[in-house]
Amino acid sequence: MIIRLDVSTDHEHTLKRAKEVLLQGGLVACPTESFYGLVVDATNEEAIRRLFVLKMREAEHPILLLIPSVELLSEYVIRIPPVAQQLINEFWPGGLTLVFEASKKTSPLLTADTGKIGLRLSNHPLATALAQAIGVPVTGTSANISGSPPCCSAKEVLGSFKGGIDLIIDVGETAGGIGSTILDVTVDPPQILRNGMIQSRQLEKFI
């Protein structure tokens, strides 16, 4: 199913439908700051497995998460180093994914058995609203078959997955460009794992 969403209209109906899909273990494609992303309930292991199969993603590749609020971060990570808190204050919500030591509440499927998990608070209102709707983190992986370019439109998502997604929220084309910057804060100093939206010069005073 595709729901066409006009950003000027009330999102309540769309969010209600997406919440139902997610709570039933379904997959939702929705826009993020750069590309369309694939969203599942990050506490539902069956939904996570289905996501890996859909993307044809190898199990050794972890999946990043979008959290509903900063306050819930501590439930899914073991500790928040002081430098991580500074980075959160500076860059969240936004395009910086921070990699922490994962708590037992975080599925090993998401960490690829590394014991680490990447999380961020998105500044895209719809992506964050989906996480807030179900009250737990959701996956923030790009909508594409692994190794293929990420999708920037609902039409591209539909063409890539041939009906394997339960709900596509269509808001037109996304900005594209680059994904989030990934920074590992489990090491000192923190290490950039992937360059992205937040440039390295913006991180210099922290790392």
Is residue 10 predicted with pLDDT exceeding 60?
no
Tell me the whole-structure pTM to 2 decimals: 0.93
Q: Where are the domains of the chain?
A: 2-203
**pLDDT digits over 14-70, tens only?**
889 999 999 999 999 999 999 999 999 999 999 999 999 999 999 999 999 999 999
Please check whether residue 153 is in contact with residue 169, taking contact to mean a CB–CB distance below 8 angstroms: no
DSSP structure string for 43-98 = T-HHHHHHHHHHHT--TTS---EE-S-GGGHHHHBS---HHHHHHHHHH-SSSEEE
Q: Which among 151, 141, 133 has a CA at the least distance from the CA of 22?
A: 133
Q: Is domain 2-203 classified as CATH 3.30.470.10? A: no
